[in-house]
Structures are given as structure tokens and as C-alpha cells.
Chains A and B, each alone.
Chain A
Amino acid sequence: MSGEPTDQEDWRALSPRTLWLEALRAGPQSVRLLPVLLPIGLAVDWAYVAPALLAALLLAFGYSWLAWRRFRWRVAHNAIIIESGIFEKQHRTIPFDRIHDISVEQSPVARALEIARVGFETGAAADPRTGEVKLNSVSVSDAEELRRTIRLWREHALPQETEVSAVDDKSLFRLSTRDLLLAGFFNFSLIALGLAYLAVQWLDDLLPMDLLDPDTIVSFARQSGLELWLDANRWLFAIGLAAALLLVGFATGIIRTVLRNWDFRLSLGPRALRRVRGLTPRTDIAVPLARIQSAIVVTGPIRSMWGWHALYARSLASESTGAFDHQLVPFARLEAIDKVLEPLDVSRPGNAIEWQVPDLRVQAMPGAIAGLLLGLTGLGLAMLDRWEGPTVLIVSGLSLIYTAILAGCHRWAVAGTTLYIRRGWWERRLTILPFDKVQSADVCQGPLLRSLGCVRLDLGVPGVTAAASSTIDALPPETAVELRRRILGVQPRNR
């Protein structure tokens, strides 16, 4: 309580000109009211439409006004404090030390009104609902002052950054044309066939006959004598069809890969990785090394037979794109991947590492239950002499087998201060997670886990969109708690 300043005059409101912005925005937004207003006009009376629209706009404006009245902020001696909320009040404290940078944005209208939107980049900006930190509109002078305050704070608090020597980027990885084509080969995809089907369906109305109607095809076959030919050369036809499918699939894969990864280069600059790739569009992005949180090595059952892997880096999204995964290496052998991992300060698990298998029962349980239910349905259908019966039975059997395989693929291991998590059978992902990148750790337990005496360890890692890559299912509680202690015990290296 001692640190709470009591001076009340310090509070600032957002610029009242914010309300003009809100009012301007209300115009286009009132289009959304059309679905409500139209029925009123049609069913009741058109005379009510204008008053209803006015009432809605007034209500919206009243809400904006109330929100504006309730919003206030101030600069304390080492933090920014924001209070907001009409019904649920929120009091937010953002320490200066956590603000990496300040952005000042101005839309054309805002420029005319001489206000600016100030965004605080804290590294927590990923959840727009709760984590977004913004002052929607303050006067331009306030925005500039705020930026100065924080820049000053950072300068005196941070050690001066060492001079960046002007060295040329060091090449880390290049995808050769041979590997590019090979990668396309593994990218087999029948998506083109689906597109063709859609196209034919769409063209249906324009064509004189219905191409997808079996009757049309049969009658066409009869007329042209194709039927006789097919009957005579059944095997030839089947082989031809299969070959055509394969050709389409491989061609699609190769074309897509070439467009995306043409002349793929990854190089290491002074503080960032730089990646250039693609034909159209050719993209050039920089991934700051300090923002990379974890690395993921991906392979598949067929690719891994020849030792091909891909490498992704997970980083804090710096832009609004929401893409956390950066592909660093699309297709390479492990030696090439190791070379890229080196500047990231992580390494692949050695051969001697002891992989731990989480409780298989727990992992297989949900899939097994679903598979068994499906199996029972299939059995019931088969007993009723329905033709679907055997098919459903086969599907349920396959799903049971797949569940078992998948459960067996989830492993974890610890080496030094790095956690490795392996998952998946068709897409095999190995997540390399340094302890010091873990922000928080949950030990969770639902009814199913409780009945088996297990817990799940769920690690909060920046930039992880798919929760699965930072969780370990089904651990004994003691192991989970001990592991959590070890992980959280490692302090961050560079803040």
C-alpha cells in the first residue's frame, strides 16, 4: 500500500475528441442494424425506422460516452496506470520496465482531430481481449511526452547496447533446387482434384449436360462405344486412373512448394535471422533472435525414412499478423538443421537422452472410448444387416489402432535446462523448449486424469498457439510438481 500515490489531480482522461471518432465510426456501423430495422419497416411501419435508428445510435453513443468518462490514466513514477470499465472495473498497472516500445498511430481522421493512439508493446499483447494495452486517443503532445518518458527510463535503466559491428549476414541454410523438387514430391496433395470438382459443379449450369450425373456418363459411354472398350480393358483403365491421380497429386505438391520455397535462404544477421523465399510473392522477413521462444523439428513417417526434416521457430508475434511459427528450414537433413539451431542457443536431444513415456492409459483413453462406441454402433448396424455395419467396424478398428500408435508417440525428456516434447505420428513434432522461456506453469487435473491418479503439466510459453506443443499429458503428480520446480527455478537469461 505504501507505494500507492494519492494525488488525484494526476489522473488524465482520454481526449474528448475521442467521442468524435466514435461518432464517425457509428455511421458505417449502423449498417449492421439493417437486419433489425428492415423487418420493423416491412412488418410494422416505415415511420418507426428512423426513430429506431436514432435511438440505437443514441444508445451506442451514450455507451461510448460512459466508457470515455470511466476511462482514466496516469503516469506514476515507474508505471502507467489505466482504469476503465463501466460495469466491471479494471485497474491496470504496466511497469515501465516491461514496456519494450511505444507506438504512436494516427489515422487520417485522428490527424485532423490532433489525437493519436498510443500502443504499449509489452510482449503480452497476444490476447486482444484481455492483454491489449492501448490508450485509444490522447492528444499528440501527451503521446510524445509519454514516449519520451519511457525512452528516457529505458536509457538510464538499460546498459548501453554494444555497438553493432557491420558484419555481413552469415548464410545458415540454402535450399538447393534438387531438394526443393524433392520437397514438393513429399508435398503430395489431391487438393487440385477437389478444386476441379468444385469448378465442374460451378460450371454445371453453363454446360449443355450434367457432367456429374451418373446417367449422363453412362449414356455418353454407351453412345461412344467407350463402355465396350472399358469392359475389354478394365485393368488398363484402373492403372491409368491411378497414374493420373498420382500425377495430379505430385504436380500440385511440386508447384505449391516451388511457389512458396523457391530459392529459400536463411542467414544470420547481428541480432536477427533473415529469411528470403518464394517466387510469388517473394518474401523477406527478419526474426529477432531474442524473440525466439522455442524451436520445433517436424517430420513424417515417410520423410523420416530418408532423414528429411523441417524446422520452425516460435517467436513472439511482433506484428499484428498472429503468425507465431516461422519456418526456418523447409526440408533438410538433421546436420543442416543443427547448424541453424546453433545461433538459437538450443540443440537437438542427443542419442543418449532418456525419453519418458507419459501414462499410456490416459492418452489412449479418449480415443479408445470413441473408437469403442463407434465399434458398438458398427456391430449394431451389422446385426441389423445394414451394409454400413462392416465399414463402421473397420473404421473403428483403424481408429483404435491409430489411437494406440498416437499415444505411443508422445514422449518427453529433459537435458540440462531444456525440455523436449515429442508428439504425433503422421506429423511428428519435436518441440525444443528452454526452461528460461517458460512464463508460467499449470498442473491440471480433470475427472478422467483424477480417476487414473495423473496430472497434466501445461506450460505457458509465449507464442504457442497449439497448446499441445507445450503440455505433457498424464504425469504422476510428484513428477509434475518436481519438473515444474526445476523449470521455473531457471531465471531468464536476458530478461
Chain B
Amino acid sequence: MRPPEEDIISELASEETNLLPVDPSYESVMRVVLLLVGMPLAVGISAVDYFWVAAAGGPAWLLTLVAWGAVAAIAVLAPSRRYARIGYSLGHDELRVARGYLFRVDTIVPFVRVQHIDLRQGPVERAFGLSGLVLHTSGSHNSTVTLPGLPSATAVAMREMIRKHIQSDFA
């Protein structure tokens, strides 16, 4: 599907451990969120088109067409691509998260470094039964690591596992 040379990070990934994909319905979550943000924008642009551009004798419907076309294209294409790039692996003492389509980031957080743990759930995610896991490490730069799109039960289980590690490392 993708040209092999594009995929340096994913290849290296397979050297250490294989990355697991997040829940497939996260793709739908991203799509719904994109539509929720994009459609009002498109409606607004259509209104501008209708009330001003068309009224002033400009190229009617061109703006509207472009706006809705862009929203549709992004909603169709972007989520699947982004979804394909999100992967994680849970080592016995660290979490690895790889994500990003255009700008790729591959993060490793040792559990020892975790300061506190968040579970996050937006309204759309709730409808799909998903949660995001957010690990906070010390300091300001790169201090949060987010793994979105986990089934809520998995997210809770992962949190408990990481929590145990924080305790056991303590001694």
C-alpha cells in the first residue's frame, strides 16, 4: 500500500516489537469529529457564497463546491490514513506509541517515569465506547504522551498495569 522507503519508523518498529493497532472504530471517531468541525465551516462558507458572492454577481457556487468538496475529501481520506499510522506496544516496563501521518512521532515512555495517568473520553469517543490514555512525565517539554482510541476496558486495564509498576519500582 505505501512505498517501503516511506516507512522507516514502522520498519524499525518491527525490529523491536510489533506495534498493535488501536480500535478500528477510532477511525470513525476521527471522521465524526472532522465532520462536526468541518460541516459548520462549510455551512458558513456557503452562506458567505450565497449572501455576498452570488449577490455581488461573482462566480456563484464555486466557493460552496470547493468547501464541501474539501470537507468530504478530508473526512474520507484523512481518518483512514491517520488510523493506519497509530500503533502502540506495551512492553513489560515501557509504553511505545507511534502516530502521525505527515509528521510522524514514535515515543517511548518507561513506566518508571510516569508521574500521573489520565483517562480521557470526549463525547464522540463515549458514543463509540473508546477512551484515550494520557501519561504525564516530569517537566514541560514532551511531558504528555497520548494514546487515543483504546476500548475503555483496555484503557482501564493498561492504567492499572502502569500503576502497579509505579508502585513496584518504588522499593
Residues of B within 8 A of A459 (CB): 142
When the two chains form their complex, are residues A90 and B116 in contact, meaning their CB atoms are under 8 A apart?
Answer: no
Chain B 139-159 interface mask (CB, 8 Å, partner A; 1/0): 111111100000001001101
- Whether A18 is near chain B, meaning CB under 8 Å from some CB there, is no
Query: In the complex, A130→B135 CA distance in Å?
Result: 11
Residues A92 and B115 in contact in the complex (CB < 8 Å), given A1-B153, A440-B137:
no
Interface with B: A50-58, A118-126, A380-388, which one? A118-126
With A2-B160, A93-B117, A446-B102 already in contact, the answer to whether A465 and B141 are too (CB < 8 A) is yes
A91 touches B119 (CB 8 A): yes
State the CA gap A459–B137 with chains docked (Å).
12
Among B4-12, B53-61, B69-77, the one that faces the other chain is: B4-12
> Are A467 and B121 within 8 A (Cβ)?
no
Closest to A133 in B: B116
Q: Are B106 and A444 in contact (CB under 8 A)?
A: yes
Task: Give, as a whole number of angstroms, the nearest-CB distance from B87 to chain A.
Answer: 13
Residues of B within 8 A of A3 (CB): 160, 163-164
- Mark contacts of A324-353 with chain B using CB atoms, 8 A cut-off: 1 yes-contact digit, 0 otherwise: 100000000000000000000000000000
In the complex, A439 Cα to B140 Cα: how many Å?
Answer: 11
Please choose the segment from A38-46, A94-102, A194-202 that sits at the chain B interface, where 4 or more of its residues have CB less than 8 A away: A94-102
* Count of A interface residues, CB-CB < 8 Å: 60
A491–B112 touching, CB < 8 Å? yes
Which residue from chain B places its CB closest to the CB of A314 in the assembled complex?
B139
Determine if A455 is an interface residue (Cβ-Cβ < 8 Å).
Answer: yes
Q: CB < 8 Å: which of A89, A95, A443, A488 contacts B167?
A: A95
Residue A215 at the chain B interface, CB threshold 8 Å: no
- Shortest beta-carbon distance from A481 to chain B in Å: 5
B35 interfacial contact with A, CB 8 Å: no
Instruction: Establish whether residues A95 and B163, one from each chain, have CB atoms under 8 Å apart when the complex forms.
Output: yes
B112–A463 contact, CB under 8 A?
Answer: no
From the candidates B109, B117, B121, B143, name the one contacting A88 in the complex (CB within 8 A): B121
Q: Does A307 belong to the interface (CB within 8 Å)?
A: no
Select one of A90, A94, A124 contacting B143, CB under 8 A.
A124
B10-25 interface code vs A (CB 8 A; 1 in, 0 out)? 0010011000000000
Residues of the B chain whose Cβ atoms lie less than 8 Å from the Cβ of A488:
94, 108, 110
With A95-B163, A124-B115 given, is the CB distance from A316 to B106 under 8 Å?
no
List residues 95-119 of chain B with CB under 8 A from any CB of chain A: 102-110, 112-119
- The residue from B104, B143, B163, B167 contacting A127, defined by CB atoms under 8 A apart: B143
Distance in Å from the Cβ of B115 to the closest Cβ of chain A? 4
Is B163 touching A124 in the complex (CB atoms < 8 A)?
no
- Flag whether B81 is at the interface (Cβ < 8 A): no
Indicate whether A306 reaches chain B with its CB closer than 8 angstroms: no
Contact A324 B140 (CB under 8 A): yes
Interface centre among B112, B114, B115 (most CB of A within 10 A): B115
Contact A460 B163 (CB under 8 A): no
CA distance A85 to B126 in the complex (A): 13
Given contacts A88-B121, A442-B106, contact A98 B115 (CB under 8 A): yes
Determine whether the beta carbon of A442 is less than 8 Å from that of B105.
Answer: yes
Q: Are A95 and B166 in contact (CB under 8 A)?
A: yes
A440-B15 Cα distance, complex, nearest whole Å: 20
Contact B157 A439 (CB under 8 A): no
- A 450-492 to B, binary, CB cutoff 8 A, 1 in contact else 0: 1001010011111111010010000001100100100010011
Contact A1 B12 (CB under 8 A): no
Chain A residues whose CB sits within 8 angstroms of the CB of B121 once the complex forms: 88-91
Partner of B12, one of A88, A130, A478: A478
Beta-carbon contact of B8 and A124 below 8 Å: no
User: Is A4 in the interface zone, CB < 8 Å from B?
Assistant: yes
- A24→B59 CA distance, assembly (Å): 54
Q: Which 3 A-B pairs have the closest CB atoms?
A: A462-B139, A460-B142, A126-B140
Measured CB to CB, the residues of B under 8 A from A are: 5-6, 8-9, 12, 15-16, 94, 102-110, 112-123, 126, 134, 136-145, 153, 156-157, 159-160, 163-164, 166-167, 170
Besides A130-B118, A445-B104, A481-B15, 16 other A-B contacts (C-beta < 8 A): A2-B160, A92-B116, A92-B119, A94-B116, A97-B167, A122-B136, A123-B115, A124-B136, A124-B143, A440-B107, A444-B103, A444-B105, A450-B6, A460-B141, A464-B141, A477-B8
Q: Which residues of A contact B (CB under 8 A)?
A: 1-4, 78-79, 85, 87-95, 97-98, 122-124, 126-127, 130-131, 133, 157, 293, 316, 324, 439-447, 450, 453, 455, 458-465, 467, 470, 477-478, 481, 484, 488, 491-492, 495
